[in-house]
Structure 1
């Protein structure tokens, strides 16, 4: 009997829960897969919403993973300079089949030195932060470059996970999971991208997130400098 696929998703304070819960729902439907939620300690971890997440395993006890996935969110600004997180990712990346992320989780992969020379995507507001880590920004919903698979912002995590299942298993399995989840999006508005959102909505959002982008820029600067 083949060994089960070991799929690990890291959690951290102020993670965007949908970055994580979308892919976890998909991965949990993969026959025989073991899905781990990983953090430094087994303790409740606050997300960026009302949901609190409970890790299932620690960095120290985590087995070698076939897939390591880093979600994003405001907390990723802290993780890009968190040596314990970055060391864990580097150790796992050595033998993992796929090294992956959703949203600004790609910045954490970058800070660990795992995206140098790879195409990658992230949330639209963080796209200019990939280059300092030697990554090649790709403005796509899902980006596959060899064994690096990255998803765009938040809701792209479901697209990312289905794409990854098609690579890990096959397309039929991915399509069956998509049907099980009735993942058939038909958004009520065409405002989900800076390319399609009304100009006044885009301007409003840019103004609203400006302080957060400044904080992120400072964190990325420190992380890129430490990476060398």
Structure 2
């Protein structure tokens, strides 16, 4: 999704960020970052890893049911007000299902969205972004297994 579509916003983005929260899905982050790593061989790029604090952010939550996971050390906090980010990535993960857990991401997305060129989500990261309100009135998809099915009314 591209919030800014003016002629001056065209060109290759170079400033990227990932919004982390406890319980993020590692693949949702490291798959896209691997592409950026390869792209950085031919084009200078910057990357910020964002979270509420600079403490390592775990892929696990107490309720995730997993016994092993990894942690990622952020480079900046949401409060740092990183204004020059062009592309923001919001991953999915078990932690995305807890509104209190992702509240800082939701607030950051809401504040950063008007300045972004692109907002990318993976899997249930779209639900996190939807909570911010920036998808209101837009069509979007998410991982259907994460939500209870709605029953259709019978005619």
Structure 2 matches for 1:1-228, cutoff 5 A?
A: 5-30=14-39, 31-48=43-60, 49-61=68-80, 62-79=82-99, 82-126=102-146
Q: Distance in 2 between matches of 1:94 and 1:39?
A: 19
Question: Shift of the alpha carbon at 1:64?
Answer: 2.8
Unpaired stretches in structure 1, ≥5 consecutive residues:
130-212, 215-228
Would the alpha carbon gap of residues 23 and 79 (structure 1) be closer, same or farther in structure 2, given more than 3 Å must change?
farther
After the TM superposition, which segments of 4 or more aligned residues of structure 1 sit over 4 Å from their partners? 79-82
Higher helix residue share: 1
SS at match of 2:79: coil
Would the alpha carbon gap of residues 118 and 4 (structure 1) be closer, same or farther in structure 2, given more than 3 Å must change?
closer
Would the alpha carbon gap of residues 22 and 87 (structure 1) be closer, same or farther in structure 2, given more than 3 Å must change?
same
SS at match of 1:69: strand
Q: Distance in 2 between matches of 1:80 and 1:96?
A: 24
TM-score by length of 1: 0.51
Equivalent residues, number: 129
Between 1 and 2, higher relative CO (CA 8 Å, sep ≥ 6) is seen in 2
Q: Is residue 38–residue 56 contact of structure 1 (8 Å, CA) maintained in 2?
A: yes
SS at match of 1:28: helix
Q: Distance in 2 between matches of 1:107 and 1:44?
A: 23
Question: Shift of the alpha carbon at 1:114?
Answer: 1.3
Unpaired stretches in structure 2, ≥5 consecutive residues:
1-10, 61-67, 150-155
